[in-house]
């Protein structure tokens, strides 16, 4: 059984102050998790985590991570702007994008960010945008084929739009070195949401061996290797969570087997985790407001897919706790739905849960990453608030809920706003 990081009594108190639905984040859990991550990789002198802004683009949460030395991994203009506004700049930003407009390369260079190129043709784009190549740059690698651990297929890099081939990355390093780049990095993301301690060491081996080859063939001064993201979280209660200390030890073993003998024992390791950093430390809080008895039993809640689209988009599983009924038997079968005019607007299908009464608070687990950030406004729905459960037990609003005025604000070029009546 998954446990919530907040009690029913505390949640009812918060819901009196901030109406449901809302995303709630656990400050204590976030802080403990980032401490453990840095401890697990403390053996590498240059280690740094670049938090994947796309996962949870909230400045209050990113500032907490930044207190422990985390930078930001950005992939768009607005993510760069958010980092700048928080006070994160220079090589504390990793700019990893694809299909990138030149203006975004220019902004990244202006901030002094490390630019991580997705494609060899982007070398010329950076030159056009910036006027020259920065002294430090990185390239994203895609080995193609299937990525396996033992006999298990973890993902299919060969079907991914990201990264360069072996030949392309070698050519890119040669071109960039000739054009004045002095320090190089390598990056790859080969599998998503892996719940195994073996993924990072296997990925590290691929990248460490690539680094040794590139150093020998191009003479490039490789200063860092970015293991990217991919460490997952146990969405299902029967899954065992990753052991970050075991992962750190596994990566260290490969580092000492591959890089150290090649005279590259000073290479820094970077990560750009998102889901692992915040996923378990956020939840979507919603209230049961309707029940329907037709061909199935339905419970309608006041949240919908605009607040959490992963179940609708991917069929993803998110555990649900009916607050105050954790010890009651799960002897009812429900589809838990939102109010969108789409039949896939369901947080759970045929889910065994305790009897749900109208007004019950439901906690939908593991929404701290790729939850609010993937929201949208279909059906004219308004995105909910984000609330931080602080270490001292207080609740702080870190993003207000959208209003109808927000929804219509982009019509500011016509007279329609003058005719609107806002409460």
Helix H, strand E, coil C: the string for the chain is CCCCCCCHHHHHHHHHHCCCCEEEEEHHHHHHHHHHHHHHCCCCCCCEEEEEHHHCCCHHHHHHHHCCCCEEEECCHHHHHHHHHHCCCHHHEEEECCCCCHHHHHHHHHHCCEEEECCCCHHHHHHHHHCCCCCEEEEEECCCCCEEECCEEEECHHHCCCCECHHHHHHHHHHHHHCCCCEEEEECCCCCCECCCCHHHHHHHHHHHHHHHHHHHHCCCEEEEECCCCECCCCCCCCCCCCHHHHHHHHHHHHHHHCHHHCCCCCEEEECCCHHHHHHHEEEEEEEEEEEECCCEEEEECCCCCCCCHHHHHCCCCCEEECCCCCCCCCEEEEEECCCCCCCCEEEEEEEECCCCCCCEEEECCCCCCCHHHCCCHHHCCCCEEEEECCCCCEEEEECCCCHHHHHHHHCCCCHHHHCCCC
269 with 227: CB under 8 angstroms? yes
CATH of domain 280-411: 2.40.37.10
pLDDT tens sequence across 246-294: 999 999 999 999 999 999 999 999 999 999 999 999 999 999 999 999 9
Flag residues of the chain having pLDDT under 50: none
pLDDT of 332? 98
Could you give the angle at the alpha carbon of 212 between the alpha carbons of 208 and 214, nearest 5°? 110
CATH 3.20.20.10 applies to domain 26-277:
yes
207 with 189: CB under 8 angstroms? no
d(CA 298, CA 143): 46
Could you give the angle at the alpha carbon of 100 between the alpha carbons of 99 and 102, nearest 5°? 140
d(CA 173, CA 394): 51
Query: What residue segments make up the domains of the chain, in order of their start?
Result: 26-277, 280-411
Q: Could you identify the residue written with the tokens 């401890």? A: 39
pLDDT of 156? 72
What value does the CA radius of gyration of the chain take, rounded to a whole number of Å? 23
Virtual torsion, Cα 52, 56, 61, 66, nearest 10 deg: 10
Residues making up the chain, counted from first to last: 423
pLDDT tens sequence across 353-391: 999 999 999 999 999 999 999 999 999 999 999 999 999
pLDDT of 416? 65
d(CA 181, CA 219): 12
């Amino acid at each position: 059984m998954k446990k919530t990081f907040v009690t029913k009594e505390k949640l009812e108190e918060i819901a009196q102050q901030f109406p449901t639905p809302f995303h709630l984040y656990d400050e204590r859990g976030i802080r403990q998790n980032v401490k453990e991550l840095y401890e697990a990789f403390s053996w590498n002198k240059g280690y740094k985590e670049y938090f994947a802004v796309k996962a949870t683009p909230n400045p209050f949460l990113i500032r907490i991570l930044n207190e422990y030395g985390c930078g930001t991994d950005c992939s768009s203009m607005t993510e760069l702007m958010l980092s700048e506004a928080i006070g994160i700049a220079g090589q504390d930003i990793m700019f990893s994008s694809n299909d990138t407009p030149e203006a975004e390369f220019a902004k990244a260079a202006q901030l002094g960010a490390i630019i991580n190129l997705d494609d060899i043709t982007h070398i010329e784009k950076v030159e056009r945008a910036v006027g020259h190549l920065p002294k430090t740059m990185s390239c994203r690698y895609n080995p193609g084929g299937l990525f396996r651990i033992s006999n298990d297929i973890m993902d299919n890099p060969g079907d991914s739009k990201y990264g360069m081939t072996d030949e392309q990355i070698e050519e890119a390093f040669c071109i960039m070195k000739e054009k004045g780049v002095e320090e190089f990095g390598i990056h790859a993301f080969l599998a998503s949401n892996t719940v195994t301690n073996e993924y990072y060491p296997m990925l590290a081996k691929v990248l460490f061996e690539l680094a040794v080859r590139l150093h020998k063939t191009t003479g490039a001064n490789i200063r860092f290797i970015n293991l990217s993201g991919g460490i997952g979280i146990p969405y299902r209660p029967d899954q065992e969570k990753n052991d970050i200390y075991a992962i750190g030890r596994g990566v260290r073993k490969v580092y000492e087997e591959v890089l150290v003998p090649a005279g590259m024992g000073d290479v820094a390791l970077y990560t750009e985790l998102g889901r692992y950093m915040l996923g378990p430390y956020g939840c979507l809080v919603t209230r049961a407001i309707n029940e329907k008895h037709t061909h199935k039993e339905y419970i309608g809640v006041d949240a919908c897919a605009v607040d959490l689209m992963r179940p609708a988009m991917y069929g993803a599983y998110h555990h649900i706790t009916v607050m105050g009924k954790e010890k009651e038997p799960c002897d009812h079968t429900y589809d838990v739905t939102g109010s969108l005019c789409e039949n896939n607007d369901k947080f759970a299908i045929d889910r065994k849960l305790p009897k749900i009464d109208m007004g019950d608070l439901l906690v939908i687990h593991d929404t701290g990453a790729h939850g609010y950030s993937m929201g949208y406004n279909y059906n004219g729905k308004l995105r909910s608030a984000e609330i931080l459960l602080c270490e001292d037990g207080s609740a702080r609003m870190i993003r207000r809920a959208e209003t109808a005025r927000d929804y219509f604000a982009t019509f500011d070029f016509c007279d329609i706003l003058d005719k609107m009546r806002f409460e």
